[in-house]
Amino acid sequence: STMFLVGLSGGIASGKSTVVAMLRELGCAVIDADVIARQVVQPHSKAHQQILQHFGTEILLENGEINREALGNIIFSQPEKRRLLNSITHPEILKEMLKQVLKYFVLGYRYVILDIPLLFETRGLTRFMKYTVLVYCDPPTQRARLMRRSGLGAAEAEARISSQLPLDEKRKWATHVIDNSGERESTRRQVLRLHARLEDSLHFLWARLAVGTAVAGLGGLVFLLLRHFIS
- Find the angle CA(206)-CA(116)-CA(144) to the nearest 5 degrees: 150
Mean pLDDT lowest among 84-88, 144-148, 222-226: 222-226
Residues 110-127 as b/e (b if ≥16 CB within 10 A, e otherwise) read bbbbbbbbbbbbbeebbe
Distance of alpha carbon 122 from alpha carbon 33, whole angstroms: 13
Q: Note the pLDDT tens digit of each residue in 177-211.
A: 999 999 999 999 999 999 999 988 755 444 445 44
160 or 175, greater pLDDT? 175
pTM score, two decimals? 0.78
Mean pLDDT lowest among 12-26, 32-46, 162-176, 193-207: 193-207
Class of CATH domain 1-29+112-200:
alpha beta
Overall average pLDDT of the 40-58 stretch: 95
Overall average pLDDT of the 86-113 stretch: 91
How confident is the prediction for the chain on average, in pLDDT? 87
Residues 6 or more apart from 159 whose CB is under 8 A from it? none
Q: pLDDT value at position 179?
A: 98
Q: pLDDT value at position 220?
A: 55
In the chain, where the domains are located: 1-29+112-200, 37-108, 205-230
Residue 201 phi, psi (nearest 5): -85, 135
Continuous H helices in 163-205: 167-171, 184-200
Q: Note the pLDDT tens digit of each residue in 129-139.
A: 999 999 999 99
Contact status, residue 37 vs residue 144, Cβ threshold 8 Å: no
Contact status, residue 7 vs residue 116, Cβ threshold 8 Å: yes
Overall average pLDDT of the 15-30 stretch: 97
